[in-house]
Structure 1
Amino acid sequence: MYDYAIMNGKLYINGHWETHNLYISEGKIALISDDFLDTANVTDADGLEVLPGIIDPHVHFELDLGKYKSVDDFYHGTVAAAYGGVTSIVDFLDPAGNADELQKAFDKRMALAKNSVVDFRLHACIKNPSGDLEEFVKKMKSLDMHTLKLFTTYSNSGRRTYEKDIIKLLELSEKYKFLLLAHIENDELIRLDKDFTYQDLPISRSSEAERSEALKLAQLVRDHGGMLYMVHLSDGHTLEALIENYGDILNRRFFVESCPQYFTFTNDDLQREDGYLYTFAPPLRSFVSRKLLFANQKHIDTIGTDHCAFNVADKKGKLLFEMPLGIG
């Protein structure tokens, strides 16, 4: 006997919808069948689409930037997520430079995350490391964390991790079997002009800044091994370049995440009167870039929202360097 059955529902299988019965035992899908079998609990989903709970691998609840803080706490953010069908989220620890800071960041984040109403996990996060990297990784693993995010930019706020440490972390990811995540932009190509407005965001953080750094890190993976996951790829040209140059490791050792906003909007939306609401990093790209994302979407391994909402007042009427970047 099965624990639960969803009968007559439309299931998405191999690229199209099919009507079948779905049987579940011990919380897992046990059988897809057209037969009517003994089951303890039954739901008739005739005419309905049956989808699994969504996992959002990239959110920022209660992100404290000092002057600003993202508005969704773990409770309200996950309630909204659950209404949208998201049953699991993965948030991030505050960036830490050594193993002791990592422990403190973990304790702080867990105290907040306990208010979540859906399942959650946490990514560890490293900034310009000041301690022994292997000790950092051992501490992370002891906390039952298996993903670690770094930044190749934000040197102005002390968050950047440099090449020699990235290589070491890639080697450690092979040894200790964890996934290295990276916010990938070429820090030398980022412009932080004080007179930039929100409409200048694509100039401040250019397509070339993303593309060139993504190709650099893909080469590091090819040369040194390990497993790397690129968060929030924004530009179809970046994806096209990765496919052309690193198809042998793409979604085998170098994984790509993108976000709904890059498939929905373009940098033209920054020209709107309320364009300040569409400010995040990396920024929106061109219509052509968006077309390339759609054309090559099979090479994107995951979709994460990068949910990081701020109040309108935090953004409206401010120069680019004064406003927090994030969207909800």
Structure 2
Amino acid sequence: MDLVIKNGVIITAEETYKADIGVKNGKIIEIADRIEDHGAEVVNAEGKYVLPGAIDAHTHLQMPFGGTVSADSYEAGTRAAACGGTTTVFDFALQQKGHGIIQTAKERDKLCAPQACVDYAFHVVISDLRPEILDEVESAVDYGIPSFKVYMVYKKEGLMADDGVLCQLLQKSKETGALISVHAENPDLIDLRTETYLKEGKTSAWYHYMSRPEFVEAEADKRAIHWAKSLNTPIYIVHLANKEGVEEVKRARDMGFEIYAETCPQYLHFTNEVYKREDGRNFVCSPPMKGEESQEALWMGIKTGDISTIATDHCPFQTSEKDWGKDDFTKIPNGCMGIENMYPYMLSEANKGRISFNKVVEVCSLNPAKIFGCDELKGSIVVGKDADIVIYDPEKNFTISKNNMHSDVDYTIWEGVKLKGYPIMTFSRGKLVFEDGEFLGQPGWGKFIKRKRKKLL
């Protein structure tokens, strides 16, 4: 036994109970009412909650975009993740023209592996679908990358997949057990509305929201779900932010289709009113934050289970880069931070009584592990799984500030947000990587996680 966590209240997606946890060689080897330490390191978690580490299944670290690169390197992003109780990060590897799927993942891994402070995996963004790429999907699944993303937007940037590409990939996913995720917005409406606002001299951050309001996202959600239903394939909607989309997901799931939806903390806490603020450009992301009605629908979707996961879409840019668009919203790099804030924010909302702690573990840990095929290792506190464990103090009051975050970004949209309760320790495979505000891990500790998904045929 290397480590014994004693006297804590263990919270999983299904249960809440008091027990000790024994860890050896990075794995949970025993859970019992009382475990003798026999010289192992002992952590007394009396009065604290013991949770599985969160999984952030949607990040963009060190990502080239909009004429720059997202502000957090793999080291900075995974460091911040650890300090917020997230012990596994899924990043997006963007396919370049002419490159293969596994080649794309290996190229990103060369950047990530020496830097990663927690475990990681990749989704590959398909932007150049050729017959040989379609054929490679099965090899990629066997390699341990069974999840892929397509953009239904960013036509001018050359990233968009049309409906034909999407349907080809959905059909291939049915044959191979892969999972296709989509960024769902209507690009033609966005371009049309953007052009109109620019001609009218309406260039503030508010018009980022107005160029892609609720119905622009909802139409694409409905279209993506329509194709998945028609082909009887699973689909995963990333960063869902609107009420109509939630309703469409619910209808499809009620009919028995394998439809998953993810939302993000920024949509649960902020509304489109932030775009009227003087610093509104700092909140620019796509899809943008929506109105209160959509926000309420998202919370209800979490409670009913129609929203399966919470992730961050962490893709921050420095203040100076956001300032490129102070006079023209189209020049603002799209993206917000959240990798260190997701778990603490959701747990705080549970601590305030909005949802249960079990539900937070479900959407932030267990469901991402199950949906993306790493639940043999991650997602819950169970004997045999990795000792990715968070100790949470429900009595600790915490106010988010740039000064107490661990990212490389020079501001945070979460500045001044008050949380009830906060993580005080994070273990990654049994290694203490965060304690009482201090990062204790090291770059290169994180391992690439090979994943498996079931075939539907």
C-alpha displacement of 1:105: 2.9
Take 1:53 and 1:101, find their aligned partners in 2: how far apart are those partners? 32
Take 2:97 and 2:176, find their aligned partners in 1: how far apart are those partners? 19
Alignment correspondent of 1:209: 216
Alignment correspondent of 2:164: 164
Partner residue of 2:284 out of 256, 263, 279: 279
Take 2:13 and 2:104, find their aligned partners in 1: how far apart are those partners? 42
C-alpha displacement of 1:125: 0.8
Runs of 5+ in structure 2 lacking a partner?
Answer: 338-457
Higher relative contact order (CA 8 A, sep 6+): 2
Give the secondary-structure state (helix, strand or coil) at the position aligned to 1:156.
coil
**Poorly superposed stretches of 4+, deviation over 6 Å:** none
Alignment correspondent of 1:20: 19
Conserved 8 A contact 1:10-1:20: yes
Take 2:5 and 2:288, find their aligned partners in 1: how far apart are those partners? 41
Take 1:131 and 1:213, find their aligned partners in 2: how far apart are those partners? 25
Conserved 8 A contact 2:315-2:335: yes
Give the secondary-structure state (helix, strand or coil) at the position aligned to 2:122.
strand
Runs of 5+ in structure 1 lacking a partner?
Answer: none
Alignment correspondent of 2:231: 224
> What does the per-residue CA deviation read over 1:117-158, in whole Å, with 9 as the maximum and x for residues that have no partner?
111111111115244442241453364311111011111111
Letter matched to residue 323 of structure 1: I
Alignment correspondent of 1:110: 109
C-alpha displacement of 1:87: 1.3
Take 1:116 and 1:147, find their aligned partners in 2: how far apart are those partners? 20
How has the CA–CA distance of structure 1 residues 40 and 209 changed in structure 2, closer, same or farther, with 3 Å as cutoff?
A: farther
How has the CA–CA distance of structure 1 residues 107 and 16 changed in structure 2, closer, same or farther, with 3 Å as cutoff?
A: closer
User: CA RMSD for the aligned pairs?
Assistant: 2.4
Conserved 8 A contact 1:197-1:318: yes
Alignment correspondent of 2:335: 326
C-alpha displacement of 1:226: 2.2
Larger deviation: 239-248 or 297-306?
A: 239-248
Partner residue of 1:292 out of 288, 294, 297: 297
Conserved 8 A contact 2:169-2:180: yes
Conserved 8 A contact 2:12-2:52: no
> What does the per-residue CA deviation read over 1:34-75, in whole Å, with 9 as the maximum and x for residues that have no partner?
344676634321111111111111111111125221111111
How has the CA–CA distance of structure 1 residues 30 and 248 changed in structure 2, closer, same or farther, with 3 Å as cutoff?
A: farther
C-alpha displacement of 1:176: 1.1
Take 1:139 and 1:34, find their aligned partners in 2: how far apart are those partners? 45
Letter matched to residue 19 of structure 2: H
Conserved 8 A contact 1:97-1:130: no
Alignment correspondent of 1:141: 141
| Number of residue equivalences | 324
Conserved 8 A contact 1:97-1:126: no
Conserved 8 A contact 1:269-1:278: yes
Larger deviation: 6-15 or 148-157?
A: 6-15
Give the secondary-structure state (helix, strand or coil) at the position aligned to 2:135.
helix
C-alpha displacement of 1:13: 4.7
Take 2:104 and 2:233, find their aligned partners in 1: how far apart are those partners? 25
How has the CA–CA distance of structure 1 residues 45 and 214 changed in structure 2, closer, same or farther, with 3 Å as cutoff?
A: same
Give the secondary-structure state (helix, strand or coil) at the position aligned to 1:321.
helix
Take 1:25 and 1:300, find their aligned partners in 2: how far apart are those partners? 35
Conserved 8 A contact 1:189-1:206: no
> What does the per-residue CA deviation read over 1:55-109, in whole Å, with 9 as the maximum and x for residues that have no partner?
11111111112522111111112111111111111111123455x3445533431
Larger deviation: 135-144 or 219-228?
A: 135-144
Alignment correspondent of 1:314: 321
C-alpha displacement of 1:246: 4.3
- Pair 1:90 & 2:90 matched: yes
Conserved 8 A contact 1:20-1:33: yes
Indicate the percent of aligned positions where both proteins have the same amino acid. Answer: 27
How has the CA–CA distance of structure 1 residues 321 and 32 changed in structure 2, closer, same or farther, with 3 Å as cutoff?
A: same
**TM-score, length-scaled by structure 1:** 0.90
C-alpha displacement of 1:268: 0.6
Conserved 8 A contact 2:249-2:306: no
How has the CA–CA distance of structure 1 residues 87 and 45 changed in structure 2, closer, same or farther, with 3 Å as cutoff?
A: same
Give the secondary-structure state (helix, strand or coil) at the position aligned to 2:181.
strand
